[in-house]
Structure 1
């Protein structure tokens, strides 16, 4: 891939409208879409654990309130997340979570009355007795947890959405992997390639101009998975360097099944890096600042570029392979992509 240059692509308070429409805005902004094979257990009228949860037909002393109504009571009207103690309420009985109490400047987001320090102890007691599905159930998570275990699970749920890995701007889009891949292709115009080998050429007319956000991103599809190849220039201890590294579009435990190599060189010399791709759960900056990739000092990069050393011309080659367990001998063998 020939490029003319490598260029930089460049919590607030809620007002009243934002508070009233926050949930709708979040859903539109995140781009989350329901998993095609999973439906909300709250809205289902089918029997669950032998109990028919249907608000239109609840009779007798054993009838229970639909889970959806209890869940809605525990939903903060500002951030739309589940509320955990301390749960605050205004004099009119409207509730919100402790985090959002500060964000709304101590005024009730529903009736605009001033909030005091009133705790909704009854709702806190209800919360302690509940078992609720993971908030990522619409993305495929089938798990149900006691209320206080739910929050811990959601922090590491494998079905939680992924942040957009595009590091050239502050992109806040989140979603599952197919959604993020389509977003990178359609919105960020990222180059998409199929195959587990690559051969890229990076050109920059003035390599002395190095900024932290100078970078390129390419997405590869192989072994049924997606990988992000990053190449960028930044300052390391006041010296400009170039770095290439690979990230896996999935969770860390899956990333460990793959290995990749990167190579750059010329004039009879070369540098080789081999490692395991990092998950996109780790931010781009975290991976870069850990130096987990192929780092090329500017003098070496100019040496590889040849000519009068006034223009950067680097060719980075590499491949991705999957480690497979050999059941006969108990060791891993590489499964190379053709």
Structure 2
């Protein structure tokens, strides 16, 4: 007997079919949106296509999405999520049991070929990228600034002895004359909504620039966050007024749980 996943899966996009659903002359179904001009025959039986709508399967899928839950493909690794069929693929892109590529390669373009599990990620950074491990969920430091060239930086942050892990990401953009920071949790979008960060730049005891922002998860492209400016962003002109005599930028940040904050 075919599984729920296979019955509802489009043979073209390999995701749960979405309306309108059409079928070939032999009765095999697929998303109409997937049938482009290049699809000249059924991908299952290679028979002729048709414009016949499969209303019955559309109703079945709607019913399943309300009542049926499916397991994540990473269940055997420990994932306990039960999901609506149409949400399964999106979840697996952010599931913490997925395989991870080195974030330094993805964000900073480091020449690193590492791939591994989440529980190996911190060990990889400490062993291979040790200069990018010193930040904690409460960090206070001074950053040497060079506004003459583009710059990307990344640090892994261990939150409460491995309860969660976060990425600190920083970008100097000479084209837009702006500097950006963001902090992303390694996990799902739902989990990310439970955390925020406070980021403060200061000059002396009274002059301060402070941003409080909800965390995004690590699946979101940091450059998209910077483009939207839903992060810490400062123009070169303003930033220069915060530099100390050593051309350093004093800053601090902390990562907080929304739930803990609301009950304190």
Query: When the two structures are superposed, what TM-score results if normalisation uses the length of structure 1?
Result: 0.53
Task: Give 1:74 shift.
Answer: 2.6
- RMSD value over aligned CA atoms? 4.3
The residue correspondences of 1:160-179 to structure 2 (distance < 5 A) are 160-162=92-94, 166-168=106-108, 178=118
Aligned in 2, Cα 1:72/1:182: closer, same or farther, shift over 3 Å? farther
- Partner Cα distance (2:20, 2:259) in 1: 49
Larger radius of gyration: 1
Matched, 1:298 2:241: no
Task: Give 1:67 shift.
Answer: 5.7
Aligned in 2, Cα 1:114/1:233: closer, same or farther, shift over 3 Å? farther
Q: Find the counterpart in structure 2 of residue 228 from structure 1.
A: 167
Q: Find the counterpart in structure 1 of residue 249 from structure 2.
A: 314
Q: Which runs of 5+ in 2 are unaligned?
A: 110-116
- Partner Cα distance (2:152, 2:80) in 1: 34
CA contact (8 A) 1:196 1:220 kept: yes
> Higher helix fraction: Structure 1 or Structure 2?
2
- Partner Cα distance (1:73, 1:257) in 2: 35
CA contact (8 A) 2:213 2:231 kept: no
Matched, 1:277 2:214: yes
SS at match of 2:225: helix
CA contact (8 A) 2:196 2:212 kept: yes
- Partner Cα distance (1:135, 1:113) in 2: 33
Q: How many residues align?
A: 237
Matched, 1:82 2:16: yes
The runs of at least 4 aligned residues of structure 1 exceeding 6 Å deviation read none
Structure 2 counterpart of 1:261, from 194, 198, 217: 198
Task: Give 1:122 shift.
Answer: 5.3
CA contact (8 A) 1:248 1:278 kept: yes
Aligned in 2, Cα 1:263/1:184: closer, same or farther, shift over 3 Å? farther
Q: Which runs of 5+ in 1 are unaligned?
A: 1-65, 170-176, 334-338
- Partner Cα distance (1:179, 1:100) in 2: 37
CA contact (8 A) 1:247 1:277 kept: no
SS at match of 1:299: helix
- Partner Cα distance (2:234, 2:57) in 1: 58
- Partner Cα distance (1:275, 1:314) in 2: 18
Q: Which has the higher contact order (CA 8 A, sep 6+)?
A: 1
